[in-house]
Amino acid sequence: MSLLAVGISHQTAPVALLEQFAMTRDDAVKALHELVGSDHVSEALVLATCNRVEVFAEVDRFHGGVAEVSRVLARQAGAGVEELSPYVTVHYEDQAVAHLFTVAAGLDSMVVGETQVLGQLRAAYALAQEEGTVGRALHPVAQHALRVGKRVHSETGIDRAGASLVTVSLDHAEQRVGPLAGRPALVVGAGSMGALAATTLSRRGALVTVASRSPESAARLAAAVDGGTAELADLQQAIADADVVVTCTGAAGLVVGTDAVAGGMAARAGRPLAVVDLALPRDVDPGVAALPGVHLVDLALLQGERSAAGGADPVAADDVSAAHALIEAETALLRAEQQAAAVAPTVSALRSQAAEVVEAELLRLSSRLPDLDARARSEIARTVRRVVDKLLHEPTVRVKELAGTPGGVDYADALRALFGLGIDTDVPADGGRLAEAVTVDPDDLHPGGAA
């Protein structure tokens, strides 16, 4: 079995295409079960955020796994696999592990160093656990990724770049309407992104109002930031009252239309309005950007700015290097742990076989020397066991050490052959080694690219 990562992200696809992949919780659950119900995928985790949809899967065949995951992604987007092939990327084994660690650390985000993706990965892992689609292969990888993400944020300085898309988007808004302290702000949506937006606005001194399809959720979030609430039915008036509108719902269609914003602007006496759309699919009609006095900040704008800057980010190169070095070390550590686990059954079988031989010989000694007193019998037993333990100590320690080296699991194969250990250790066909690279046929999309 092998780890495979197949996905599409802001690195390779325009926001318009990413919108087609937007997933609700029910969509993610359906995808998880469709994946593990296929022929070549045994475990799966789906990470769906505002700028990526990626599947991390344990597969028994590389090409078959890529094809099956690609079909599920294409179905979600309502497109054909061939249409998506220029944008989909594939990572395999070590590359897949390192990629997941990079994503968890916020190094592959639209804003490098953002922390929200770590929470999104945690939620994706929890959903996969709840649905029973992760097992002994993906559990340690996902847990390790969460640990790596925490370490990168606590041990490097990448957080200095800005915590999230919310921070960067509000910086844009302030450039248009001025400092937010004391200004009215409207947050449409009371989910995790809405909560982050409301909290960030509150910290900047804005007077926050929350509107949501769930009045109870809106009330809870508003209370947390000492703000107020508004009804979605009164959206035009709420827009008229606000200087900044941040939308981030999970709706499938538009929530903020051009008419509502135009009506709100008519009551603003020429005051400028910043509208920040962080939803995928988008909440705000793109036509809003053409209204006089309205400045629209959305994912497409942020993606375009990042591309124009050549992917440059305001993070110190030393911090990024330190984060990548940590990821490389953690990837190697996970590989060593997996390879050590692969030889554990061999070590256990060898010790069990030795114990059986010792017990059989001691029983044989008892039958040959029935008059041997108990004290002598006990001393002989301890001596025999010590001799066997010492003889086995070096080979068992060395095979564990060598398991972390290239070809290390081959030593376990040799040990099984030498001692006649007829056990099934469930070692992968590649000997438990994680591939450093993979050659992919053209039909298998794009291996190893940034996703």
52 is in an annotated binding site: yes
Decide: 247 and 277 in contact? Cβ < 8 Å.
Answer: yes
CA max distance for the chain: 111
Does 296 share its domain with 232?
yes
Residue 447, H or E segment: strand 446-447
381 is in an annotated binding site: no
Which CATH number does the domain housing residue 8 bear?
A: 3.30.460.30
Find the mean pLDDT for residues 237-253: 91
Q: How confident is the model at residue 318 (pLDDT cuts 50, 70, 90)?
A: confident
Q: Please enumerate, as own/partner, the contacts of 194-197 that have beta carbons within 8 Å and a separation of 24 or more.
A: 194/221, 194/246, 194/248, 194/249, 195/221, 195/224, 196/116, 196/164, 196/166, 197/166, 197/246, 197/248, 197/276, 197/278
Q: Is residue 433 part of a domain?
A: no
Which CATH number does the domain housing residue 230 bear?
A: 3.40.50.720
Least confident of 230-234, 315-319, 364-368: 315-319
Does 113 share its domain with 24?
yes
Is the pLDDT score of 276 beyond 70? yes
Computed over every residue of the chain, the mean pLDDT equals: 85
**pTM for the model:** 0.65
CA proximity to 173, closest of 63, 296, 66: 296
| DSSP codes of every residue in 299-362 | HHHHHHHHHHTTT--SS-HHHHHHHHHHHHHHHHHHHHHHHHHHHHHHHHHHHHHHHHHHHHHH
Is the pLDDT score of 162 beyond 60? no
Is the pLDDT score of 256 beyond 50? yes
Does 45 share its domain with 121?
yes
Least confident of 17-21, 142-146, 229-233, 383-387: 17-21
Is the pLDDT score of 176 beyond 50? yes
51 is in an annotated binding site: yes
Does 289 share its domain with 178?
yes
HSE value, Cβ hemisphere, 13 Å, CA-based, for 226 = 7
Does 60 share its domain with 34?
yes
Q: Find the angle CA(52)-CA(53)-CA(58) to the nearest 5 degrees.
A: 130
Tell me whether residue 299 is exposed, middle or buried, using C-beta atoms within 10 angstroms of its C-beta: 0 to 12, 13 to 18, 19 or more.
buried
Does 143 share its domain with 198?
no
First to last CA, the chain: 23
pLDDT of 322: 85
Does 173 share its domain with 215?
yes
Is the pLDDT score of 9 beyond 80? yes
Q: Is residue 330 part of a domain?
A: no
CA gap 102, 100 in Å, rounded: 5
List the structure tokens of 258: 């051009």
Is the pLDDT score of 82 beyond 90? no
Least confident of 18-27, 191-200, 230-239, 332-341: 332-341
Is the pLDDT score of 338 beyond 60? yes
pLDDT of 323: 85
List the structure tokens of 152: 């990168």
Domains: count for the chain: 3
pLDDT of 1: 58
Q: How confident is the model at residue 439 (pLDDT cuts 50, 70, 90)?
A: very low
pLDDT of 404: 62
Does 48 share its domain with 143?
yes
Does 391 share its domain with 405?
yes
192 is in an annotated binding site: yes
Does 186 share its domain with 224?
yes
pLDDT of 414-438, one tens digit each?
Answer: 777 877 886 554 434 333 333 333 3
116 is in an annotated binding site: yes
Is the pLDDT score of 235 beyond 90? yes
328 is in an annotated binding site: no
Does 200 share its domain with 141?
no
Share of the chain above pLDDT 90, in %: 48
Residue span of the structural domain in which 285 resides: 165-308
List the structure tokens of 284: 């705000």
Q: Is residue 328 part of a domain?
A: no
Is the pLDDT score of 2 beyond 70? yes
Q: How confident is the model at residue 304 (pLDDT cuts 50, 70, 90)?
A: confident
Residue positions annotated with a catalytic role: 50
Decide: 448 and 438 in contact? Cβ < 8 Å.
Answer: yes
Of 17-31, 32-46, 149-163, 394-408, the range with the highest mean pLDDT is: 32-46
Q: Is residue 51 part of a domain?
A: yes
**Which of residues 98 and 112 earns the better pLDDT score?**
98
List the structure tokens of 354: 């030795």
Neighbours of 289 (CB within 10 A): 17
Q: Is residue 402 part of a domain?
A: yes
Does 170 share its domain with 140?
no
190 is in an annotated binding site: yes
With tokens 């029973």, the residue in question is 132
Q: How confident is the model at residue 39 (pLDDT cuts 50, 70, 90)?
A: very high
Find the mean pLDDT for residues 208-232: 94
167 is in an annotated binding site: no
| DSSP codes of every residue in 67-117 | HHHHHHHHHHHTS-HHHHTTT-EEEETHHHHHHHHHHHTTTTSSSTT-SHH
pLDDT of 365-410, one tens digit each?
Answer: 888 888 888 899 899 999 999 999 898 888 888 777 776 666 666 7
pLDDT of 450: 36
Q: Is residue 365 part of a domain?
A: yes
191 is in an annotated binding site: yes
